[in-house]
Structure 1
Amino acid sequence: MRWMYFLIFIIALKAHAIVIRHDVADKNYLFAAQTDSSTVTFYGIYKGEKIVEGTGTLIADDWIVTAAHVANYLSPGGKVEFKNTSYKIEKVVCHPRWQDKKYPFDIALIKLFTPIKSATIAKLYFADDEAGQTATFLGRGDTGNGIQGITGADGHMRLAENKIIAAEEQWIKFEFDQGEDALPLEGISGPGDSGGPAFVSAQNNLYIVGVSSWQDTEPTKWQEARYGVVENYTRISYFKNWIIETMSGEAFDKDLPSSER
């Protein structure tokens, strides 16, 4: 397994804002994101300016799931932002087997001092049937399109969709398609969306199936955010026991889709 992890490290770029189709209006992705009430944003300062450093998802009114490589830069007393309101972090828990700058076990939980009562809580997806489903994901980092790659950042939230092509051990995977194979709002993550969610809907509920981790650019000859790249999201179902144990039985919605009942 060591050689595989080394290969992942070499070919991966951090998945960070939403990169869209070149032939679909950006306003469609912006409009679709207006319904979101489950994600938070982590900000940092670069050269005196506020920048997006990552995204997280509320899985309880005071618990957030994100990527470990995002949480690595967070600390108790720091803040996250939900709909223009800041909330203070109580504790940061990265997976104990995660290592800095490496992608296996790229998951973390953030506990808040104050619950966010106005949020829509995402349910945890524990089934193993993710492959073939269409997922949606959100972020407000850098944006661009499949032909030009990254073109800039405006801080606006976008929502894209993609089909899960594989669900293997720790990862769920997406490919950035174009043409007839692309979904109406086909897209992938871009710089600033790390830790953001991949959602699916089941029984009229919103489930989180994955957390944005890294992007394999080998299929595009090392060009980030282009058609053909493969996104890798940390798989929630793989880490279900660690999530439950870390939250120590605190109240959160553990309802399962029908395939897990």
Structure 2
Amino acid sequence: MKYILLALSFIALNAHAIIIRHDVKDTNYLAKPDDFPALATFYIDGAHGILFSSKWIITAAHTTFCLTSGTKIKMSKGSATVKRLHIHPNHTPGISHDIALVELLEDAAHVPPATLYTRNDESGLPIWFIGIGGTGNGNTGITTDNYENKGVLRKAQNRVEEAKGPILTFKFDKDEDALPLEGISGGGDSGGPAFIKTERGYQLLGISSRYGGGPSEKYGSFEVYSRVSYFVPWIREVMNKPDKAVSSGVSLDKLKYLPGGLKPSDLPALCPDILFSHNELSK
């Protein structure tokens, strides 16, 4: 239990929990795996990635601290096995380039992937978030953390406030400025998607990264996502030559900086506590 609680602080460090409108029932925000089938989950208390090709998952770099070759992760249907990590070499915690690719050992052919959004017109677009992070509302802030949430999946709406360089920014609006299911994502939802659904399927615009300022966990707070369109050239470069990406410096196979004071010596005890067991993966 000590290490599960420790993990909570690391997973939730960069962003806060999914917070919903105070004037809309929580049940309206509840989601099903089919609402975004490409969602992957790394740990029992959260942290996500998105399948965007049969053997590739994209996520926030800071979520990957327990992922190594052979790690099993949960998919919307079944599971997948990590072959190798590709972390952006310019990842700077709390600042920028919080993005990584998880190369899978085998095709996840049983899961329909999302597609990467490549246009640079994201500003003002209405999007969806989804994840198993904790919850609360815009007046109270977080009242249930991601461990207490026990894997309940929620989705929320928002609108891209700003698209600039490698970052998308979202604001938690209220009253007449809010969307019907307005909310923000956060701890336990790190690495999760900002997405739209079109005639061509689900398109991925951003990856949940960190809290961006304003009243923490309440109306008026900001959320920062890694901007997928900005990183498409890097993503393609890694995918074109994955066996040479690490040796050539295009990617890193592990984090240079562990999140929030976590030390390498913590991982052998921490990771088995929070990674999915065989029984949990088969549920």
Structure 2-normalised TM-score? 0.75
Is this contact kept in 1: 2:48–2:190, CA < 8 A?
yes
Q: CA deviation at 1:141?
A: 1.6
Report the equivalent of 1:185: 181
Call closer, same or farther: CA 1:17–1:248 in 2, change over 3 Å: farther
SS across alignment from 2:136: strand
Report the equivalent of 1:91: 84
Report the equivalent of 2:58: 65
Call closer, same or farther: CA 1:177–1:228 in 2, change over 3 Å: same
SS across alignment from 1:161: strand
CA distance in 2, matches of 1:209, 1:160: 15
Q: CA deviation at 1:249?
A: 6.9
Q: CA deviation at 1:64?
A: 0.3
Q: CA deviation at 1:144?
A: 1.5
Report the equivalent of 1:82: 75
Report the equivalent of 1:109: 101
Report the equivalent of 2:204: 208
Is this contact kept in 2: 1:37–1:119, CA < 8 A?
yes
Is this contact kept in 1: 2:33–2:76, CA < 8 A?
no
Is this contact kept in 1: 2:49–2:192, CA < 8 A?
yes
Report the equivalent of 1:237: 229
CA distance in 2, matches of 1:105, 1:177: 26
Instruction: Select which of 37, 41, 45 maps to 1:51.
Output: 45
CA distance in 2, matches of 1:197, 1:207: 9
Amino acid across the alignment from 1:78: T
Q: Deviations over 1:212-241 (max 9, x none)?
A: 001123x21xx2x21111111000111110
Q: Deviations over 1:167-190 (max 9, x none)?
A: 000111110011111101111112
Report the equivalent of 1:144: 136
SS across alignment from 1:246: helix
196-205 or 237-246, which moves further after superposition?
Answer: 196-205
Q: CA deviation at 1:80?
A: 1.0
Report the equivalent of 2:238: 246
Is this contact kept in 2: 1:176–1:227, CA < 8 A?
yes
Call closer, same or farther: CA 1:231–1:102 in 2, change over 3 Å: closer
CA distance in 1, matches of 2:135, 2:33: 14
Is this contact kept in 2: 1:150–1:190, CA < 8 A?
no
Q: Deviations over 1:6-62 (max 9, x none)?
A: xxxxxx95125422111111111114665221100011xxxxxx422x110000122
Is this contact kept in 1: 2:168–2:226, CA < 8 A?
yes
Report the equivalent of 1:42: 42
Call closer, same or farther: CA 1:84–1:37 in 2, change over 3 Å: closer
CA distance in 2, matches of 1:94, 1:84: 25
CA distance in 1, matches of 2:218, 2:76: 30
Is this contact kept in 2: 1:198–1:212, CA < 8 A?
yes
SS across alignment from 2:30: helix
Structure 2: gaps (5+ residues): 1-11, 243-283
Amino acid across the alignment from 1:39: L
Residue 172 of structure 2 corresponds to residue 176 of structure 1: yes
Is this contact kept in 2: 1:13–1:216, CA < 8 A?
no
Is this contact kept in 1: 2:14–2:187, CA < 8 A?
yes
CA distance in 1, matches of 2:97, 2:65: 13
SS across alignment from 1:247: helix
Report the equivalent of 1:14: 14
Amino acid across the alignment from 2:202: L
CA distance in 2, matches of 1:83, 1:128: 29
CA distance in 1, matches of 2:198, 2:98: 25
Is this contact kept in 2: 1:103–1:213, CA < 8 A?
no
Call closer, same or farther: CA 1:103–1:71 in 2, change over 3 Å: farther
Count how many residue pairs are aligned between Structure 1 and Structure 2. 227
SS across alignment from 1:184: coil
